[in-house]
Amino acid sequence: MKFQAQYLELPTFKTALEYRDTFAFGIDKLDSKLQLHLDDMIGIFGDTRYTNALSTRLVVRSLLPRNHGGVDAENVIVIDADNSSSPYLYVDIGRQYGMHHRNLLHKVLVSRQFTIYQLTNTILYDLPKRIQLHKPKLIVISGLLDQFYQDPYIRTAEVESLVSQIVTALHKINDVFIILTSRFTDNQIEFPALSRIEIRTKREFDETKLNLSIYNNGRLKKVSMAEAELRID
């Protein structure tokens, strides 16, 4: 029998980079603009309501199986420096994906920090131990920059020293996707180049519009969406 190649559906080839676990918000307007993988770091800046909604969506979706858009993460670590982590929001978003609240919350390991010194000590010394123990694929540090901006007594030189140590520590973490959130932008603090989302709100006709500036792979993209599209219940 003569080989008929034209009737075969040839397999597609991907680079090893494309086969890495991909993190997605489950919101087409955002996911079409971003490519987020293990070893990436993203900063989400803006009103805490929105930064928390986006980071929580990534946390919940990371726990899903790969065939449902997740990365099958066993655990997620959340370092909550602005007291924004909400178990109710985890449960509400988890319900959208048919996740049982007990199983979901059991996999989200939260540590709350109340001073910049607690925060720095946790990231430098406790976090590496937790990573070895729990093997997370995703780490969230919420309100990271807020504490430094809000402390009226800390000196600029001390801020620069502590932030430099934090940045160095974060760069040593491998095979983990890291999310940093803050109400403040990173313009005034020396941070590594990272993908980031900056959210600005505008009230229009009794509806809140979100204007997002998305920096990814050296490119700037703009997205406008309604608050309702974040799907915060």
Q: Which pLDDT score, from 0 to 100, does residue 109 have?
A: 96
Q: Does 14 map to a domain?
A: no
Q: Which pLDDT score, from 0 to 100, does residue 142 have?
A: 95
In the chain, the number of structural domains is 1
Q: Which pLDDT score, from 0 to 100, does residue 13 have?
A: 57
Q: Which pLDDT score, from 0 to 100, does residue 140 have?
A: 97
Q: Does 8 map to a domain?
A: no
Q: Does 107 map to a domain?
A: yes
Residue 78 domain boundaries: 21-230
Q: Which pLDDT score, from 0 to 100, does residue 190 have?
A: 56
Q: Which pLDDT score, from 0 to 100, does residue 217 have?
A: 82
**β-pairing, 195-204 with 207-216?**
antiparallel
Q: Which pLDDT score, from 0 to 100, does residue 21 have?
A: 80
- Reading the chain (233 residues) residue by residue, the pLDDT tens digits are 554 555 555 566 555 544 568 899 999 999 999 989 998 999 999 999 999 999 999 999 999 998 888 899 999 999 999 999 999 999 999 999 999 999 999 999 999 998 999 999 999 999 999 999 999 999 999 998 888 888 888 888 888 899 889 989 999 999 999 999 998 776 555 566 688 999 999 887 778 899 999 998 888 999 999 988 887 64
Q: Which pLDDT score, from 0 to 100, does residue 147 have?
A: 84
Q: Does 1 map to a domain?
A: no
The enclosing domain of 155 has a CATH number of 3.40.50.300
Q: Which pLDDT score, from 0 to 100, does residue 93 have?
A: 93
Q: Which residues contact 68 (CB under 8 A, 6 or more apart)?
A: 97
CA within 13 Å, CB half, 148: 23
Q: Which pLDDT score, from 0 to 100, does residue 42 have?
A: 93
Q: Which pLDDT score, from 0 to 100, does residue 191 have?
A: 62
